[in-house]
Amino acid sequence: MSVASGLLPTRPRTGFGRLGRAAGSPLVRLIVKRVLLAIPILLGVSVLTFWVLSLIPGDPARAMLGMNATDAQVEALRHEYHLDESGPQRYLDWLTGALHGDLGTSMVSSQTMSSMLADRWAVTFELVALAFIVSLAAAVPVALLAARWPGGVFDRISMLCSVTGLAVANYVLALLLVLVFAVEVNVLPAIGYVGLGQGLGPNLKSMVLPTLAMAIPLFCFYTRFLRGDLVDQMQSEDYVDTARAKGIGPWRVLWMHAFRNSSFGMITIVGLNIGTLVGGTVIIEQIFALPGLGQLLLQGINTRDTVVVQDLVIIFAAIAVFANLLVDVLYAVLDPRIRYGSH
């Protein structure tokens, strides 16, 4: 194009230009901001965990070798795992190794943490995923039915069940489930885990009781929260009255209008509960003898295996932080106003 025409030549659109525009989008800036905020949180958790473990009385090397071990054996073990170094130096060594992908070696089993995590993460992931899916899939329809006829028979029964379920601890519920379905009725296994490699049916059968032990309290909490929010919107929001005035049916108003607005609150509750759900695996996996990360953490605490405890606490904290990051991103996707108001 000539200059005489009065128009300047335009730059061709390149992949770098599109990448730059994407990097400058409000959503990407929100994600970067949350990731940068997560880094000091994880560092703080690691420092606090390391400090608390150092305050536990006794010598981990002596506890592992037993009272009959000689002083030379204890000192050799302390030197092998750098227990003879100062606390700050040991933390810096651990942090440097973790940043390079080396999570250390178990003081009890002498296995690398990478191999131990590879053997166990799938069990915990399956348990958490099943509990999350079951609780949410059951809570949404029950809450919708209860909110459709507030004060009715179904609403009263569902709220009574929710309050009762929230009042029972998950480990007590786990023992009751074992007593009923594994001892009295004898239709489900009480303990043990069957991998997916041995068949989907046996795998799911071994996971029914631990999944229910974790899903039922979540189901009760989700149901009560969602039902209360739906009823409040159906009775007090102007947009509900407007939809009714247009002749829209009650079920459509409840599903298309009230539930869509209530989903924002549910996203927050679900995101906050991910960390609690993962933490609950410590007790449930121990009760049902599931070889997951929760059982490994409890074993590490009992055997004073500081490497295992340190790494798993950071992993659990990272999962909770990632869940909250995912909630922020979902908020920004569902409501663009959050993206532009975040910077």
pLDDT tier at 133, thresholds 50, 70, 90: very high
Confidence band (pLDDT; 50, 70, 90) for 235? Answer: confident
pLDDT in tens, 87-104: 788 888 888 888 888 888
13 belongs to a structural domain: no
Does the pLDDT of residue 173 top 60, yes or no? yes
* Residue 184 falls inside a structural domain: yes
Region 131-159 average pLDDT: 91
Q: How far apart are CA 206 and CA 247, in angstroms?
A: 50
For 328, phi and psi rounded to 5 degrees?
Answer: -60, -40
pLDDT in tens, 268-290: 888 878 888 888 899 999 999 99
Let me know if 106 is exposed, middle or buried by CB neighbors in 10 A (0-12, 13-18, 19+): buried
| pLDDT at position 10 over 80 | no
The answer to whether residue 191 is domain-embedded is yes
Both 100 and 228 in one domain: the answer is: no
Q: Is the domain of 197 the same as that of 294?
A: yes
**Residue written as tokens 């239709």?**
187
C-alpha neighbours within 13 Å on the C-beta side of residue 262: 26
Do 294 and 331 belong together in one domain?
A: no
Do 169 and 227 lie in a common domain? yes
Clarify whether residues 79 and 144 are in a common domain.
no
Mean pLDDT of the chain: 82
pLDDT of amino acid 84? 74
| Residue 337 confidence (pLDDT) | 59
Q: Identify the bridge partners of residue 112 per DSSP, sorted by sequence position.
A: 105
* Nearest 10 degrees: Cα torsion 211, 212, 214, 215: 100
Q: Which domain holds residue 179?
A: 113-239+265-302
Q: Is 143 helix (H, G, I), strand (E, B) or coil?
A: helix
281 & 321 share domain: no
Residues 121 and 234 grouped into a single domain: yes
Q: Is residue 248 part of a domain?
A: no
Question: pLDDT category, 221, cuts 50, 70, 90?
Answer: very high
Residue 24's pLDDT is what?
A: 53
pLDDT for residue 254: 84
pLDDT band at 1 (very low <50, low <70, confident <90, very high): very low
- CB 215, CB 134: distance < 8 Å: yes
Q: Domain total for the chain?
A: 2
The answer to the question of residue 42 being in a domain is yes
Same domain for 184 and 143? yes
**pLDDT-derived band at 335, boundaries 50, 70, 90:** low
159 in the same domain as 290: yes
Residue 147 lies in a domain: yes
* Same domain, yes or no: 132 and 157: yes
- Report whether 287 contacts 171 (CB < 8 A): yes
Instruction: Clarify whether residues 232 and 152 are in a common domain.
Output: yes
For 245-276, b/e burial (b = at least 16 CB within 10 A) is: eeeeeeeebbeebbbeebbeebbbebbebbbe
Q: Does 260 map to a domain?
A: no
Model confidence pLDDT, tens digit, residues 18-74: 444 544 577 777 778 888 888 888 888 888 888 887 777 777 777 777 777 777 877
Q: Which residue has the higher pLDDT, 126 or 84?
A: 126
* Residue 47 within a domain: yes
Q: Within this chain, do residues 280 and 320 fall inside the same structural domain, yes or no?
A: no
Q: What is the distance between the alpha carbons of residues 187 and 167, in angstroms, rounded to a whole number?
A: 26
Based on its alpha-carbon atoms, the radius of gyration of the chain, rounded to whole angstroms, reads 26
